[in-house]
C-alpha cells in the first residue's frame, strides 16, 4: 500500500475582496462576482514567496506524519512562481524543514497542475521502493497583470503531502493523466505576467482534459461518480469546477467541501491539492476521494484515493485549511499592489 | 551580508540552531563556543523550536538603508513594521520582525512562534536571503 502519511496546508494571512479589485478596474463587482463565483482571494505578504509558503505547509505536514525529516528521500515541488529561475526551491525547503543531504529534488512546472505532477512522481518513487518517504507539494504566488480578468482570481497558497508505505492515512489507489499540446495559457521567458487565449481556456482546455482524465481513471479503477464521497476538480474560478462536476455526474455535496476558490482564489499549483487537504481535514475512515487537476498547456492528473482509519490519529496535529480561511486580514488595492510588487 | 557569510549562517537563520551547555543548562543563540556561565568549552548544538514571548518592541517608520542608499530589509518597503526582542522559551533573546500583525495587536508578554520568511532580497539579480521572523500565537 502506498499513500499519504501526512498533509499540510498554508494560505497567507491577507485577502482582497473582488469589490476592491472591481473598483480599481472600473468594473461592476456584482457582475464579476456572479460571473466568476468568487468573493475574495488570498494575497501573499511582501516577504512571502513559493519557498516560504512551501516551508510552512511542509512543517504542518511533518507535524502530522510520524517520521523524522531526515528520513525523507525526495522532495518535488510544483509551481509557476518558483523564487529563482535557476536554483531549486526544493533545496531551500529541504534545508528549512531539517532534511538530511541524502535526498533528490528538481523543481516542476506545469501551470496549475505541477503539484499533482509532483504527487505522481513521489508516489512512483515510494511505490517502487526507491525511497522510503517522499515529499510532494504544489505552491504558488500567482501573478496577473493589472486589468487582466485573472486579477480577480490569481492567489497564493499551497499544500504538501508526505508519502510512505506504512501508517497511511489516505491510500493512493491509482492515478492516470490526459495531456495534449494546447496553447490556452502561457508565459514566455523573462515575462512577469502570463498571457491567455481568453474564451479558448474553457471547452478545448479545462473541460476536455478534466473530463478525459477523470473518465480514464473511472474506467481503470472500475468505479462510477456515485462511488465517491468527495470529488475535487481544479478551481480556476467558482464556476468551472461546478460545471465540470455536473457534466461528469458528480453532485454538489461531493464537491463543495473541497471547493475553496470563492474564499481564497485560484492558488494555481496549490489549487486542487489544497482542496484535497481541506477534504482530508474532515474525511472519515473509508471515505473515497477523486481528485482531478488541470494545468494549462495542457493536462490533467486524476487520482483515486481511499481514507484509512489512521486519519483520526493525526488530523488535529496541525492547523486545518479552515483555520487559514478564518484567520485573515483584508487589504485595499494600494496595499495589494505593494505586496505583489506591481 | 555577503553570499558566503549568509550561506555559513543558514542553520541559524533557517533552523534556529544555537548551542546548549550540558554542564549548566545554559542556552545560546546565536551559537557561541564557550559557555559564559561556567566556562565549558564543549557546547552541544541545540535546535530552538521557535516558541517565545515579546520582551519589548518598536515600530520602524524609516527604512534601513545601506551605504549605496538602497533599502536593505524588504519588509521595510511596507513601513511601518514591528521589530521586537523575543525571548525564546529556553532563555536566549533575539531581535526579529513580527509579521501578519497590526501595530495595536502587539503587546509586551505576548506569545510568539517562529515563521520562515524572506529577509533580504539583493535586487532582481541577487541571492534571496531567508530566515526567521515571528508571528503572534493566536
Ligand atoms: Zn555552562
Interface of B with A (CB under 8 A): 10, 14-15, 47, 74-75, 77-78, 99-100, 102, 115-119, 128, 130, 133, 138
CB A76 within 8 A of CB A123: no
Q: What separation in Å is there between the alpha carbon of B92 and the centre of ligand 1?
A: 14
Task: Return the axis-axis angle of helices A208-221 and A240-248, rounded to nearest 10°.
Answer: 40
**Cα–Cα dist A33/A339, whole Å:** 23
Residues of A in contact with B138 (CB under 8 A): 327
For residues B106-131, give the mean pLDDT.
92
**Residue A80 predicted with pLDDT over 90:** yes
CA angle A321, A42, A266 (to 5 degrees): 85
In this structure, are B117 and B129 located in the same domain?
yes
| Residue B42 and residue B64 share a domain | no
- pLDDT tens-digit profile of A151-172? 999 999 999 999 999 999 999 9
Q: How does pLDDT run across A14-62, given as a tens digit for each residue? A: 999 999 999 998 999 999 999 999 999 999 999 999 999 999 999 999 9
Mutate to test the interface with A, among B15, B60, B71, B116 (most CBs of A within 10 A): B116
Residue A118 pLDDT > 60 = yes
State how many domains chain B has: 2
Q: What is the CATH number of the domain that holds B133?
A: 2.40.50
- String of b and e for A256-280 (b: at least 16 CB within 10 Å)? ebbbbbbbbbbbbbbbbbbbbbbbb
CA angle A152, A336, A279 (to 5 degrees): 55
Instruction: Check whether A198 has a pLDDT greater than 90.
Output: no
Alpha carbon of B42 to ligand 1 centroid (Å): 9
Strands A297-307 and A170-182: antiparallel
User: What pLDDT shows up at residue A283?
Assistant: 98
> What pLDDT, on a 0 to 100 scale, did the predictor assign at position B2?
83
Residues in a beta bridge with A288: A306
Q: Are residues B28 and B13 in the same domain?
A: yes
Segment A117-126 shows an average pLDDT of: 98
What does the radius of gyration of chain A's CA atoms come to, in whole angstroms? 18
- What is the spatial distance between Cα B35 and Cα B92, in angstroms, rounded to a whole number? 13
Beta pairing, strands A14-17 & A329-330: parallel
Which of B85 and B71 is assigned the larger pLDDT?
Answer: B85
Closest residue on chain B to A336 (Cα): B78
User: Do B12 and B28 sit in the same domain of this protein?
Assistant: yes
Q: Which residue has the higher pLDDT, A303 or B67?
A: A303
- Does one domain contain both B41 and B63? no
The mean per-residue pLDDT over the stretch B95-114 comes to 96
Residue pLDDT, tens place only, A82-104: 999 999 999 999 999 999 999 99
Tell me the per-residue pLDDT of A201-254, one tens digit each, with 9 for 90 and over: 788 899 999 999 999 999 999 999 999 999 999 999 999 999 999 999 999 999
Average pLDDT score over chain A: 95
Q: Other CB atoms closer than 10 Å to residue A17's CB: what's the count?
A: 18
pLDDT at A129 exceeding the cut of 70:
yes
Q: How confident is the model at residue B133 (pLDDT cuts 50, 70, 90)?
A: very high
Residue B35 shares a structural domain with residue B61 = no
The rounded distance, in Å, linking the Cα atoms of B49 and B88 is 9
For residues A7 and A314, the answer to whether their CB atoms sit within 8 Å is no
Q: Is the pLDDT score of B69 beyond 80? A: no
Give the chain B residue whose CA is nearest to the CA of A54: B116
| Residues B60 and B43 reside in one and the same domain | no
- Which is more confident, B66 or A72? A72
Neighbours of B97 (CB within 10 A): 24
Ligand 1 (single-atom ion) residues, CB below 5 Å: B 21, 23-24, 26, 35, 37-38, 40
pLDDT at B23: 97
User: What is the reported pTM?
Assistant: 0.96
Active-site residue, selected from the candidate residues A112, A196, A209, A306: A112
pLDDT category at B66 given cuts 50, 70, 90 is: low
Query: For residue A101, how many other CB atoms are within 10 A of its CB?
Result: 8
**A80 flagged as catalytic:** yes
Of the pLDDT bands very low, low, confident and very high (cuts 50, 70, 90), residue A190 is confident
Test the A interface: residue of B117, B124, B127, B131 with most A CBs within 10 Å: B117
CA–CA min distance B38, chain A (Å): 30
Note if A112 is an active site residue: yes
CB neighbours of residue A318 within 10 Å: 20
Say what the ipTM of the complex is.
Answer: 0.94
For residue A125, which phi and psi values (nearest 5 degrees)?
Answer: -70, -40
pLDDT confidence band for A342 (50 / 70 / 90): low
Domains and CATH numbers, chain A: 3-169+312-339 (3.40.47.10), 174-309 (3.40.47.10)
pLDDT by residue (tens digit) across A246-287?
Answer: 999 999 999 999 999 999 999 999 999 999 999 999 999 999
Residue A47 to residue B133, Cβ atoms within 8 A: yes
Q: Is the pLDDT of residue B45 over 60?
A: yes
Cβ atoms within 10 Å of A289's Cβ, excluding its own = 24
- Residues of B with Cβ-Cβ distance to A53 under 8 angstroms: none
Query: Which pLDDT belongs to residue A233?
Result: 98
pLDDT band at A149 (very low <50, low <70, confident <90, very high): confident
Range of the domain at B15: 1-47
Q: What percent of chain A has pLDDT over 70?
A: 99
B85 plus B136 within the same structural domain: yes
Contact B78 A56 (CB under 8 A): no
Per-residue pLDDT, averaged over B35-60, amounts to 96
% of chain A surpassing 90 pLDDT: 89
Task: Identify the burial level of A334 via C-beta atoms within 10 angstroms of its C-beta, where 0-12 means exposed, 13-18 middle and 19 or more buried.
Answer: exposed
Looking at the structure, tell me whether residues B101 and B129 fall in a common domain: yes
- C-alpha cell of B124? 532582481
**Same domain, residue pair B27 and B72:** no
- Residues in chain A within 8 Å Cβ distance of B119: 47
In angstroms, the CA A217 to CA A223 distance is 8
Q: What is the reported pLDDT for A285?
A: 98
Considering the domain architecture, whether residues B24 and B78 belong to the same structural domain is answered as: no
Task: Decide which of A178 and B81 is more confident.
Answer: A178
Nearest-10 crossing angle of helices A89-96, A50-64? 40
Q: Is the pLDDT at A125 greater than 70, yes or no?
A: yes
Both B126 and B60 in a single domain? yes
Amino acid at each position: 500500500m502506498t499513500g499519504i502519511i501526512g498533509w499540510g496546508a498554508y494560505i497567507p494571512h491577507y485577502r482582497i475582496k473582488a469589490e476592491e479589485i472591481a473598483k480599481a478596474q472600473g468594473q461592476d463587482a456584482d457582475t464579476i462576482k456572479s460571473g466568476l463565483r468568487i468573493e475574495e482571494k488570498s494575497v501573499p505578504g511582501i516577504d512571502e514567496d513559493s519557498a516560504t509558503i512551501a516551508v510552512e505547509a511542509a512543517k504542518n505536514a511533518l507535524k502530522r506524519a510520524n517520521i523524522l525529516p531526515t528520513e525523507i528521500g525526495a522532495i518535488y515541488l510544483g509551481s509557476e512562481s518558483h523564487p529563482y529561475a535557476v536554483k531549486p526551491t526544493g533545496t531551500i525547503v529541504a534545508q528549512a524543514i531539517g532534511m538530511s543531504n541524502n535526498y533528490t529534488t528538481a523543481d516542476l512546472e506545469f501551470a496549475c497542475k505541477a503539484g499533482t505532477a509532483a504527487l505522481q512522481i513521489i508516489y512512483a518513487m515510494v511505490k517502487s521502493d526507491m525511497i522510503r518517504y517522499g515529499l510532494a507539494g504544489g505552491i504558488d504566488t500567482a501573478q496577473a497583470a493589472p486589468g487582466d480578468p485573472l486579477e480577480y482570481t490569481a492567489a497564493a497558497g499551497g499544500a504538501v503531502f508526505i508519502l510512505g508505505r506504512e501508517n497511511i492515512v489516505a491510500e493512493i489507489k491509482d492515478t492516470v493523466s490526459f495531456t495534449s499540446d494546447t496553447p490556452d495559457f502561457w508565459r514566455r521567458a523573462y515575462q512577469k505576467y502570463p498571457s491567455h487565449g481568453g474564451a479558448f481556456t474553457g471547452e478545448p482546455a479545462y473541460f476536455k482534459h478534466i473530463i478525459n482524465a477523470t473518465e480514464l481513471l473511472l474506467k481503470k479503477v472500475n468505479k462510477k461518480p456515485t462511488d465517491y464521497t468527495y470529488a475535487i476538480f481544479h478551481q480556476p474560478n467558482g464556476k468551472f469546477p461546478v460545471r465540470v462536476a455536473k457534466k461528469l455526474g458528480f453532485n454538489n455535496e461531493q464537491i463543495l467541501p473541497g471547493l475553496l476558490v470563492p474564499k481564497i482564489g485560484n492558488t494555481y499549483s496549490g489549487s486542487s491539492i489544497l482542496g484535497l487537504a481541506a477534504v482530508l481535514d474532515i474525511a472519515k475512515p473509508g471515505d473515497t476521494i477523486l481528485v482531478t487537476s488541470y494545468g494549462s498547456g495542457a493536462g490533467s492528473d486524476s487520482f483515486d484515493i481511499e481514507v484509512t482509519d489512521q486519519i483520526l490519529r493525526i488530523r488535529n496535529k496541525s492547523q486545518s485549511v479552515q483555520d487559514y480561511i478564518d484567520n485573515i486580514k483584508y487589504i485595499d488595492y494600494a496595499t495589494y499592489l505593494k505586496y505583489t510588487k506591481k | 551580508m555577503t553570499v558566503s557569510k549568509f550561506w555559513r549562517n543558514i542553520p541559524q537563520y533557517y533552523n534556529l540552531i544555537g548551542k546548549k551547555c550540558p554542564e549548566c543548562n545554559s542556552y545560546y543563540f546565536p551559537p557561541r563556543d564557550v559557555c559564559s556561565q561556567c566556562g565549558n568549552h564543549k557546547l552541544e548544538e541545540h535546535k530552538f523550536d521557535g516558541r517565545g514571548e515579546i520582551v519589548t518592541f518598536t515600530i520602524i517608520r524609516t527604512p534601513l538603508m545601506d551605504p549605496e542608499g538602497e533599502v536593505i530589509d524588504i519588509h521595510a518597503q511596507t513601513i511601518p513594521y514591528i521589530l521586537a526582542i523575543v525571548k525564546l522559551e529556553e532563555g536566549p533573546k533575539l531581535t526579529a520582525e513580527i509579521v501578519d500583525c497590526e501595530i495595536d495587536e502587539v503587546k509586551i508578554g505576548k506569545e510568539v512562534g517562529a515563521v520562515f520568511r524572506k529577509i533580504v532580497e539583493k535586487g532582481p539579480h541577487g541571492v534571496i536571503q531567508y530566515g526567521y521572523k515571528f508571528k503572534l500565537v493566536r
